[in-house]
Each structure stands twice: as structure tokens, then as C-alpha cells.
């Protein structure tokens, strides 16, 4: 947004291209354009994307499950205020997690309903998160996210990652399990 004076009239020049880029990216990501590059939140839109991007990915992921629908029938049993509070703090959560090499994703339970069922994520429990620190189809559960402050959440995640091996940059590495001499 830039404000300039021309002939006594104030004209506001808006970078339409930037707004278009932000709007088109909104479906896939929420991104804090900070100078550190931290604050990236991946939006998971399907079971397939969850499988490939989270479970089969070599990175450690902190996935927040929420309900983002505008359809009141889909929101039955959901505390929408709590979900919105956590969604609004996603960039802050991502900045804290990214600083430790943990990636952050946001998934709507309706978009990943089969996996939500597999991981026992229920709408009445939203918002909640899971930390995927191994390649096993299991994660550490973080309930009642709306009442947690980010430093406490960060300490809790770091404590859960104490036994994970470290990469050369000192960040925790996802535990890869070997079965019969091969990696999972």
C-alpha cells in the first residue's frame, strides 16, 4: 500500500498483483512474509496430500486439526470460537515450531475425514493437534490448543522430540524405522 499526492489529491496505489498472489495462495498456505522466512503453514486439503506431505515426508510435522467450513451442519458439535482462535494464531505457532525445524500444517477434519477417524480426531475435540515425529502412522496428541500459550506448546513439543536424532543443523530428525534391513 503506497500513498502519494498528485495535484493536491491523495491517490492510494495498491499492488493488485500482490493481492492476487496472496489470494491465490490462501487455498494452499498461510505465510508470514517475515525476513526470517519462519511462519510457514501448509494447508492440507486432502487425504492424499496428508499421506504424501506429512506421513511419508522426512520432516517432523505439527498438524493442527480444525473445522473451517461455513456450513452449519458440518460444524455441529464444533466450538467454532476455539477453532478460530487457534487458526488466528497459526503463524505464531509456525514461527515457534519452524525455529526448531518442525513444519506446521492446518487440516480441516472434513477434508481429511478418513485420517481424522483413523487418528481418533473428533469434531467435539477441536481444535487439536498431532506431532508426527516418526514414520509410524501415529502421533503425539495435543488437545485443548485454544487454552495453551505458544511458549508452553513449544516446550511440550521440544520435550517430545528429545529422543529424536539430530540433523547437522541441530534440529530434530524424523525417526525412520528399519524393517528387515530397509527403511519405512
CA distance 42 to 5: 40
Q: Coil, helix or strand for 175?
A: strand
On the question of a cis peptide bond just before residue 127, with omega within 30 degrees of 0, the verdict is yes
Sign of CA dihedral 144, 116, 134, 33: negative
Q: What is the pLDDT along the chain (184 residues), one digit of tens a residue?
A: 444 444 444 433 333 333 333 333 444 444 443 333 467 899 999 999 999 999 998 899 999 999 987 778 778 888 888 999 999 999 999 999 999 999 999 999 999 999 999 999 998 889 999 999 998 888 999 998 888 899 999 999 999 999 999 999 999 999 977 665 555 4
Cβ–Cβ < 8 Å for 92, 78: no
pLDDT of residue 78: 86
Tell me the sheet residues that pair with 106. Answer: 43, 64
Instruction: Provide the angle, in degrees to the nearest 10, between the axes of the packed helices 90-98 and 150-160.
Output: 40
Cα angle, residue 42 at apex, residues 159 and 110 outer, rounded to 5° = 100
Amino acid at each position: 500500500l503506497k500513498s502519494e499526492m498528485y495535484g493536491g489529491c491523495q491517490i492510494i496505489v495498491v499492488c493488485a498483483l500482490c493481492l492476487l498472489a496472496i489470494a491465490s495462495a490462501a487455498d494452499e498456505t498461510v505465510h508470514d512474509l517475515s525476513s526470517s522466512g519462519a511462519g510457514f503453514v501448509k494447508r492440507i486439503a486432502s487425504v492424499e496430500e496428508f499421506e504424501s506431505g506429512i506421513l511419508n515426508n522426512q520432516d517432523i510435522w505439527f498438524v493442527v486439526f480444525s473445522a473451517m467450513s461455513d456450513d452449519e451442519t458440518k460444524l455441529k458439535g464444533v466450538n467454532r470460537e476455539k477453532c478460530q482462535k487457534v487458526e488466528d494464531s497459526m503463524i505464531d505457532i509456525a514461527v515457534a515450531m519452524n525455529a526448531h525445524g518442525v513444519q506446521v500444517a492446518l487440516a480441516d477434519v472434513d477434508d481429511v475425514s478418513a485420517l481424522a477417524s483413523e487418528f481418533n480426531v473428533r469434531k467435539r475435540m477441536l481444535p487439536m493437534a498431532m506431532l508426527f515425529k516418526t514414520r509410524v502412522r501415529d502421533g503425539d496428541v495435543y488437545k485443548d490448543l485454544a487454552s495453551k500459550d505458544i511458549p508452553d506448546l513449544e516446550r511440550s513439543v521440544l520435550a517430545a522430540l528429545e529422543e529424536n536424532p539430530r540433523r547437522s543443523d541441530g534440529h530434530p530428525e524424523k525417526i525412520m524405522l528399519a524393517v528387515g534391513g530397509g527403511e519405512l
